[in-house]
Copies of this chain bind each other. A is one copy, B any other.
Amino acid sequence: MNEFELIDRHFRRPPHNPDVRVGIGDDGAVVAPAPGMEYVLTVDMLVEGRHFAAGTDPMRLGHKALAVNLSDLAAMGALPRFALLAVALPQSDEAWVVAFMRGFDALARQYDVELIGGDTTRGPRNLCITAIGELPAGSALLRSGANPGDLVYVSGTLGDAALALAVADGRSDVDPQAGAALALRLDAPEPRVALGVALRGIASSAIDVSDGLTGDLGHVLAASRVGAAIDLASIPCASALRGKLDSGERELALACLLAGGDDYELCFTAPPAMRERIDALAQALRLPLTVIGTIGVEPGLAVRDEEGRPLARLPQAFDHFR
């Protein structure tokens, strides 16, 4: 099978969005937002051996590769619309492509994301997705909008994916039922799309927690030229992880909670006056939205332990070039 047949069979499909003027199959795709709308563009590259292990279930990978991009759009408050998919594969492997696209398509359908372009080549396995979202002009949730006095929120629970990885690597263990739930968070993260869209006009800033809470919140603080104090005890996490905070595995638990990436929850800030609206949103979305601290004037991030004392040393956020 050659490159073009591969594309024809598995990537090309009839366009279904009216604002896709030209979809897959030309030198480029043609799109236009509705009047008064803006596009949000984001790109993520996933590399075998770095972001996923060789032999990873291609269907889960198809889900995750798109999910991490939709998470970026969610963090901007954008509604996902389109994606471009560039793939390097070590060999022509139709079964792999079919499974990968099954995972990709299932998530794409869930959020009505249309694949409008791509590229395929041979090479070390690499998945590079560009995602395009849409939002009303001026409504994007930026990292730079946090103000002193704002509350710091996170959605869902943090550290699940990092603990799942630690369990998979034999660095920790949990009971099998908890392990299955954690593994699902690592393998099939759910981008917080509905939350991101709903936070327009409510949140003052937002970011997705892909590299770890302290690192990602740190980006918000730097962009907003503010600081924050957060409470370890208030950071929502799975009970399996909570238990380890009081055990010989405290260091590992702290690293999972504060520096574990891959959960793809949103961390956002909002003025205290928005608290009721955010509580109502949490109920409507059936998703915990938890206050973990407050924004202050002093630069820097302080994490207070269970006794209210600042942690002396923060675990480092994940960095692809360390």
Q: Are B33 and A33 in contact (CB under 8 A)?
A: yes
Q: Would you give the 0/1 interface string for A50-65, flagging 1 where the beta carbon is closer than 8 Å to chain B?
A: 1100000000000000
| CB contact between A322 and one of B2, B32, B118 (< 8 Å): that residue | B2
Which residue of chain B lies nearest to A69 when distances are taken between CB atoms in the complex? B28
What B residues does A43 contact at CB under 8 A? 84-86, 117-119, 128, 130
| CB contact between A2 and one of B4, B208, B319 (< 8 Å): that residue | B319
What B residues does A72 contact at CB under 8 A? 27-28
A172-226 with Cβ < 8 A to chain B: 206-208, 219, 223
Residue from A2, A49, A130 with most neighbouring chain B CB atoms (10 Å): A130
- Chain A residue total in the interface (Cβ 8 A): 75
Main secondary structure of the interface of A (DSSP, over half): strand
Q: Are A25 and B321 in contact (CB under 8 A)?
A: no
Q: Are A122 and B207 in contact (CB under 8 A)?
A: no
| CB contact between A321 and one of B3, B42, B124 (< 8 Å): that residue | B3
Q: Please give the count of copies of this chain that the complex contains.
A: 2
Stretch with Cβ within 8 A of B (4 or more), from A73-81, A99-107, A242-250: A73-81
Q: Are A321 and B130 in contact (CB under 8 A)?
A: no
A232-271 with Cβ < 8 A to chain B: none
Residues A319 and B116 in contact in the complex (CB < 8 Å), given A22-B142, A86-B128: no
In the complex the two chains form, what is the Cα distance from A124 to B31 in whole Å? 32
A123 within 8 A of B: yes
Which residue of chain B lies nearest to A144 when distances are taken between CB atoms in the complex? B26
Q: Are A31 and B27 in contact (CB under 8 A)?
A: no
In the complex the two chains form, what is the Cα distance from A230 to B278 in whole Å? 66
Stretch with Cβ within 8 A of B (4 or more), from A132-140, A155-163, A289-297: A132-140
A279 within 8 A of B: no
User: Could you tell me which A residues sit within 8 Å of B by CB distance?
Assistant: 1-4, 6, 21-22, 25-33, 35, 37-51, 72-73, 75-76, 78, 82, 84-88, 92, 116-124, 126, 128, 130-133, 135, 137-138, 140, 142-144, 206-208, 219, 223, 319-322
Question: Can you pick out 30 interface pairs between chain A and chain B where the beta carbons lie within 8 Å of each other?
Answer: A21-B138, A22-B142, A25-B223, A26-B76, A26-B140, A27-B75, A28-B72, A28-B75, A28-B78, A29-B40, A30-B135, A31-B39, A32-B38, A32-B137, A33-B33, A41-B84, A41-B117, A43-B84, A43-B85, A43-B130, A45-B86, A45-B88, A45-B121, A45-B123, A47-B88, A47-B124, A50-B121, A84-B130, A121-B320, A122-B320
